[in-house]
Homo-oligomer: A and B are copies of this chain.
Amino acid sequence: MAGDLAGSRTSDVMTAIRGRIAGRALAPGDRLPSIRRFAATMNVSPSTVVEAYDRLAAEGLIRAQRGSGFYVSNAALPPLKLAAETPKARAVDPFWISRQALDADDAVLKPGCGWLPADWMPNEALRRAIRSLARSESDLLAYYGSTHGSPALRRLLLGRLAEEGIGAGPDHLMLTNTGTQALDLVCRFLLRPGDTVIVDDPGYFNFQALLKAHQVKIIGVPYGPSGPDIGAFEAILAAGRPKLYITNSAIHNPTGATVSPQVAHRLLNAAAGSDMTIVEDDIFADFEPEPSTRLAALDGLSRVIRIGSFSKTLSASARCGYIAARPDWIEGLVDLQIATNFGGPNPISSEIIAHMLAGGGYRKHMEELRRKLVRVRRETADRLRRLGIEPVILPRGGFNLWCRLPDGLDSALVAQAAVAGGVVLAPGNVFSVSQGAAGFMRFNVAHMLEPRVYEVLAAAMKTAS
């Protein structure tokens, strides 16, 4: 209560000053009333006036001149409302979908986005983890942290790798700010401009955006229900010398497919044959009903690099990623992260994630998510079929549903029409290096519960046809 009262007194003083400036009683450059005098005028304590002046200074309305009091800013005030981050009229490419989804305001529905709705996330556990962070030692809260990242989180990740049968030690593992930064570091470490890299077609669209930033040649390998077309994969290796293959393991984005043990085995042999490295992005693995054959587990982190993050399962706000790889590569990657990020990743995020993983709640949270997704996936598939939209496969887990649109429909045109209706969709070709997926669309089933999604989708299909 006392706090609230003090707070309201502070805002009374702020309102009074704002009023004088708005009414030109105080002009730009004018000195504000002295703390003591204005405290008397407003009948509050001097400290309340100091607090109010400091807050107004933080807003830029006034400035504190060191030593000599407060003055009305000469400069224009910062705009109270920030402009829309992203112009709607951009070409439909990987950046289009990222920006539309990330910068959409609350009114917009986002079945095209790559994350779960906030109310599906373990927010209470997250708040508990944040409160416990507030109680942690000052060193943790003040310092950059170690170059490899939070020891607590690395211990937990080593335990999870051990569960998979990957006997990794501390020198096999480093933390990063994000899963995408993990991949970016790996690319910087292993690739040079002009190198060739294989990605899945269809595959996660931001892999293309990232690889373009590295100025490498991107080749797509057709991706089917049991993984990449291994014949095509072997042909690509025979034709050239690709340096890297980047793929989503466990549950593939966007198709939701899983690599079969036979394909995994042949992939590794083919890679070994032409001395190619494979990056296995783990991000959807915890959505699997039961663990599938994993490349890093078969290979034991010799030519496979495992990356991952917790943005899909715990929080995309407390971001944190990791890289598990050969110790000599980790050593080089750590230097690269120091050069380009100074030190390891954000320690407070890593601690929050570690707290959530260490607690007993994580497994229960994931079991509940999986149960919920089975139901929502089935419902969504039925409702889409009624619009003539056919799921290509029904995935074992995760929230993505890769679907074929009725013949002749261009999903990019549908997506552009839907944006106008306040719905962000993920058209097929943003996932396709060959641009052969115009007739497909990825739907995030967790964002398909609102009837309005289907109304806008149906209308957009009409507009586009």
Question: Which residues from B are CB-within-8-Å of A67?
Answer: 290
- Interface residues as binary, A53-67 with B (CB distance below 8 Å gives 1, 0 otherwise): 111011111011011
A50 to B342, CA, bound (A): 40
Question: Which residues from B are CB-within-8-Å of A311?
Answer: 144
- Interface residues as binary, A77-92 with B (CB distance below 8 Å gives 1, 0 otherwise): 1111011011000000
Nearest to A155 among chain B residues (CB) is B78
A278 to B180, CA, bound (A): 28
Question: Which residues from B are CB-within-8-Å of A5?
Answer: none
CB of B348 within 8 A of CB of A352, answer yes
Residue A171, interface by CB 8 Å: yes
Contacts A102-B144, A311-B144 given: A318-B336 contact, CB under 8 Å?
A: no
Contacts A163-B60, A169-B83, A318-B348 given: A343-B54 contact, CB under 8 Å?
A: no
CB of A86 within 8 A of CB of B177, answer no
A61 to B339, CA, bound (A): 36
Question: Which residues from B are CB-within-8-Å of A144?
Answer: 102, 115, 311, 316-317, 319
- Interface residues as binary, A325-361 with B (CB distance below 8 Å gives 1, 0 otherwise): 0000000000110111111101111001000011111
Question: Which residues from B are CB-within-8-Å of A170?
Answer: 79, 82-83
Q: List 12 A-B contacts (CB under 8 A).
A: A50-B360, A57-B363, A66-B289, A75-B166, A78-B158, A98-B342, A117-B142, A127-B135, A130-B348, A144-B319, A346-B346, A349-B349
A117-B142, A118-B143, A349-B349 are known; give 9 further A-B pairs, CB within 8 A: A59-B155, A98-B338, A123-B138, A142-B315, A177-B346, A184-B341, A210-B339, A319-B346, A346-B346
